[in-house]
Amino acid sequence: MATSISDALQRASRNCAERGLAFTPIRQRVLQLLLENPKGLKAYDLLARIKAEQPSATPPTVYRALDFLTEHQLAHKIERNATFVACTRDSHIEPGIFLVCPQCGGITELADVGVLQALCRALADAGHQLDNPEVEIGATCPACRPA
């Protein structure tokens, strides 16, 4: 396992412990698969992979694990691609901003807290509330941008 992945799992585990949440083996495994696939996985791909390892796993178990991870911002659902990605930040309570490349489907989570807080303030000033904690922006990634 790559160090960054095991680091991220340890961080998530600490995060859960601090918040009194149970980081069960299925939740860990789902998060690990998401960490191993930076472009994200669709729910059914994730289910297929889990089922390949644990034939007894049922769709609700996997979907509940995904719900847990997204609810606690350890992973995020990107509606545009209907994919789930692991959170790349230490932890956050504010929404995340995601740059989604229309060419390759690459997803980057912005880590600029100032931008996020400014966005929240601007939304509140306009009297609006976010529907999802994931804000998606279509933006061509450096690898797909013409030189």
The footprint of Zn ion (CB under 5 A) covers 87, 89, 96, 101, 103-104, 106, 141, 144
CB of 84 to Zn ion, least distance (A): 12
3-class state of residue 48 by DSSP = helix
Residue with smaller CB distance to Zn ion, 21 or 57: 21
How do 134-138 and 96-100 pair as beta strands? Answer: parallel
CB of 56 to Zn ion, least distance (A): 31
Residue with smaller CB distance to Zn ion, 40 or 106: 106
- For residues 83 and 41, is the Cβ–Cβ distance under 8 A? yes
Bridge partners of 41, per DSSP, are 84
Residue with smaller CB distance to Zn ion, 36 or 48: 36
Angle in degrees, 0-180, between the axes of helices 25-36 and 43-53, rounded to the nearest 10: 120
Residue with smaller CB distance to Zn ion, 61 or 136: 136
CB of 95 to Zn ion, least distance (A): 9
Identity of the residue numbered 5: I
CB of 103 to Zn ion, least distance (A): 4
Output b/e per residue, 30-54; b: 16+ Cβ within 10 A: bbbbbbebeebbeeeebbebbeeee
